[in-house]
Structure 1
């Protein structure tokens, strides 16, 4: 298993062979060859890979994620070949070809993650009660799947909302309130911990490269 980690730039993970389960700031996704997971900058996740492993092509994106998180393409090898010559052309082809895949809900950790993503201000205790679960069991069970507690997941969701909103022309105080933080100072502390950057610096990165990684940094990796 690859423990929970984050990337400084936006990217698409294209599965070429095998499969794995990813659990992170956008929920839990089960992917196989031909699937694509889009990630925005500083998004954190873990990967559970079977013994057979998985082959993944990581395509840096010079843009914030502005589409479905989980998609599928018919011919991932074509994207890889294009990326060897022109990353911009490969990105365009990927966005043209990808078909959205619906999030699969298999158990209550999936349900809770999606509920928090829909409303980061929700009461986790009330959710547990509504589903006949003990709050302590919910915290332990969720942590087992995501490596963080539901409360920490909620903070991460708020942070990701703020990071994306910083790409818009909004006052920092407005971004903080919209994302669910108590105030701008609270948002600044959380973003500094999550990204190592101040909100102002994150905004500057949006302006420079759309929150992306180095466009030369294409990576072909084996997960095991």
Structure 2
């Protein structure tokens, strides 16, 4: 995929897991797993039903997209030494290119975070987080936090928190045999019906169908 200089992709959702391998240029992605600064050689892994927005730099970017298994995306990000070799392999066998990419994925240096990144991480860690208490602890006004977070991530913290709860519920539905009512309570939903509506909005299917497919 080729993206023009200064291009912006509004927040969008992907139904399937995939890896984005940056071949040249760079961009910033802000989504369900936080904010990521991407440049040539970087790899970002995405699970199914993740959403994010992308802002491309002055050079634009060229990105190789490879389909992967959902479980493989748990590592999130990394770097590969030779993206050009990966492209050549992908021209012949995309599945083998994805396998090699995952096998050779090395660590990526971390980047200093500011408060929107810290809030996104806090909501990932605890979808029951009280936004008011979080803002007060850092001397920030809740209204300013909401506006600033939306500018970075394309949605308000309340909506982001609901997405994290829903993704956690989807994982539990697919991986366990726990009653749906228990999962709903454990993930912070008002009741099972509330959880089911949230899952249908995000994954466009029902908890029962997710469990049957898993």
Q: Would the TM-score normalized by the shorter structure come out above 0.5?
A: yes
C-alpha offsets along residues 41-70 of structure 1, whole Å, 9 cap, x if unaligned? 110000011232000011011333453212
CA distance in 1, matches of 2:202, 2:52: 12
2:23 counterpart residue number: 16
Q: What RMSD over aligned residues (CA atoms) do the two structures have, in Å?
A: 1.7
**Correspondent of 1:195 among 192, 203, 212:** 203
Distance of 1:102 and 1:121 partners within structure 2:
29
What is the aligned partner in structure 2 of residue 153 from structure 1? 160
Query: TM-score, normalization: structure 1?
Result: 0.85
Counterpart contact for 2:45–2:73, Cα < 8 Å: no
2 CA distance for matches of 1:55 and 1:82? 17
1:6 and 2:13 aligned: yes
Kindly indicate whether residue 177 of structure 2 is the aligned counterpart of residue 170 of structure 1: yes
User: Gaps spanning 5+ residues in structure 1: where?
Assistant: 208-224
Distance in 2 (alpha carbons) for counterparts of 1:127 and 1:148? 18
* Residues 158-202 of structure 1 deviation map (CA, whole Å, 9 limit, x = unaligned): 112222233313233333334332332111111111122112233
Structure 1 residues 22-52: Cα deviation after superposition (integer angstroms, max 9, x where no partner)? 0000010001000011001110000011232
CA contact (8 A) 1:70 1:102 kept: no
Whether 1:61 aligns to 2:80 is no
- CA drift of 1:102 comes to 5.4
CA contact (8 A) 2:23 2:63 kept: yes
TM-score, structure 2 as length reference: 0.89
**Between Structure 1 and Structure 2, how many residues are aligned?**
206
Whether 1:140 aligns to 2:147 is: yes
Q: Which residue of 2 aligns with 1:219?
A: none
- Match of 1:54, SS? strand
Aligned partner of 2:116 among 89, 109, 130: 109
